[in-house]
Amino acid sequence: MRVLQVTAEIYPLLKTGGLADVAGALPQALAAAGCDVRALLPGFPAICAGLKDAQALSEFATPWGETIRVLYGTLPQVACGPAGLPAYVLEAPGLYERPGNPYEDAQRRPYADNHRRFAALGWAAARLALGLDPAWSPDIVHGHDWHAGLAPACLRALAPTTGAGVGTIHTVHNLAYQGLFAPQHFGEFGLPPVFFGIDGLEFHGQVSFMKAGLAFADRITTVSPTYAREIQTPEQGFGLDGLLRARAGVLTGILNGVDPAVWNPATDPEIALTFDARRPAGKSVCKAALQTECDLELRPDLPLFAVVSRLTEQKGLPLVLAALDGITASGGQLLVLGTGERELEDAFLREAKAHAGQVAVRLEYDEALAHRIFAGSDVTLVPSRFEPCGLTQMYGLRYGSLPLVRAVGGLADSVVDTDLATLEDQTATGFAFGPFSEAAYRHTLRRAFALYRRRTTWARVRQVGMRRSFSWDEAATHYLDLYRSLVPQ
């Protein structure tokens, strides 16, 4: 089965969040399951630099009059067979050749032409589905997040009755980011006027790329079973819950996986000393090395809490700040890695200055340091307001850093709370709380400290967590079942 994965970023070439990890790992699992997988990506500088043996495949004109060249080559750094992942890349320097963040300028303002930059991605996917490459055409077009949301609508516009026999899937990675644009841009997209309506792209008077994917795709998936239920509610549906309830029959939640070739403490070259569930001694070495690297006091006897995240309100970081004294007063430590909202960055910097040796902050994106933080920390904090899947809690589990999470979305699906029952049946892997409140979060911190003082029990819970398997093979099996339901055998 031929599958075209449409995505804006892909690990390890370009990453701003978990989308890139998924886009980089899923193709290999699909290929192992027998799929012929290719990717379609915008020609951001990092993507173009990673494309090898590139050949000009074809050109197409966008509805607004811009000519885009489609390159075909391989991405050797993306694991998918011996040569890497075959990929189509849109060569359009006027749209994509910009330094820094792929979506925002240096002042963190979305680029004014983002509607064109990602409409081009949608049109390219549709044209590939209809034979732009005479040597290969997909059975399935699988788009990821709002950036690829226009692909099913473009295909429907070009082949209104059959969609050329190509199945379409739209995966929601985070419904909060919807790709909203002013209504006057709709005319640039070249879609039938009827598509700008309540059953199409119109969303409270704006154009929504996310809604396009939800409305026109044959199947909808999201990145955890619990999140699939949550986005059908007003609380987490972000205004699209009615549409999602109406399409509940084609909506599936599939939990993301973890790439063991990238996230494995037994083989990780980035950490001070490798270890695993059977040989955990290396973790204490990693903790001491991390404390030294980040100017924290060398305290093996007290827990080190870690945040590896975009610094946004969604991630529950106001709770971390409000209850920071719950860590410092008990002698614990906090290490924060990430960038994001300026108020949160400034607040964490103030706390680091006020609690030198106990609190450390690194306002940057550093993949290698993230590996060392999971390897050296005792607790990974993910107290999110909402969380479609979350990967950091899975990375924490792999590296023996017990997740402390709010029981929402993929966090609820991947972390088993520690209580008397789960300790007895040896299923506990971390800590979870329900209400999004400072009181609930503080109480869970206290439970983490209490368990840490019971070192034998802590070690047993850590071992159970490290042995949890979050396999991409299982996720690929679910995706393959969806693909088969759309393609006549």
DSSP 414-456: H-PBPSHHHHHTT---BEEE-SSSHHHHHHHHHHHHHHHHSHH
Residue 41: CB partners within 8 Å, gap ≥ 6? 7, 8, 9, 10, 47, 87, 88, 89, 90
What's residue 81's pLDDT?
82
Let me know: does 127 contact 157? Beta carbons within 8 Å: no
What's residue 106's pLDDT?
86
3-state secondary structure of 461: helix
Backbone angles phi, psi at 365, to 5 degrees: -105, 115
Let me know: does 322 contact 316? Beta carbons within 8 Å: no
Which tokens is 324 given? Answer: 């920071």
Q: In one letter, which amino acid is 415?
A: V
Q: For the whole model, what pTM was predicted?
A: 0.93
Regions of the chain where pLDDT drops below 70: 162-164, 489
What's residue 165's pLDDT?
86
Backbone angles phi, psi at 469, to 5 degrees: -110, 125
What's residue 160's pLDDT?
83
Let me know: does 246 contact 276? Beta carbons within 8 Å: no
- Burial category of 36 from C-beta neighbours within 10 Å (exposed 0-12, middle 13-18, buried 19 and up): middle
Angstrom distances, CA of residue 284 to CA of 269, 300, 336, 374, 456: 17, 7, 19, 12, 15
Domain boundaries along the sequence of the chain = 2-257+472-486, 282-466
What's residue 82's pLDDT?
87
Domains 2-257+472-486 and 282-466 share a fold: yes
User: What is the architecture of the domain spanning 2-257+472-486?
Assistant: 3-Layer(aba) Sandwich (3.40)
Which top CATH class is 282-466?
alpha beta
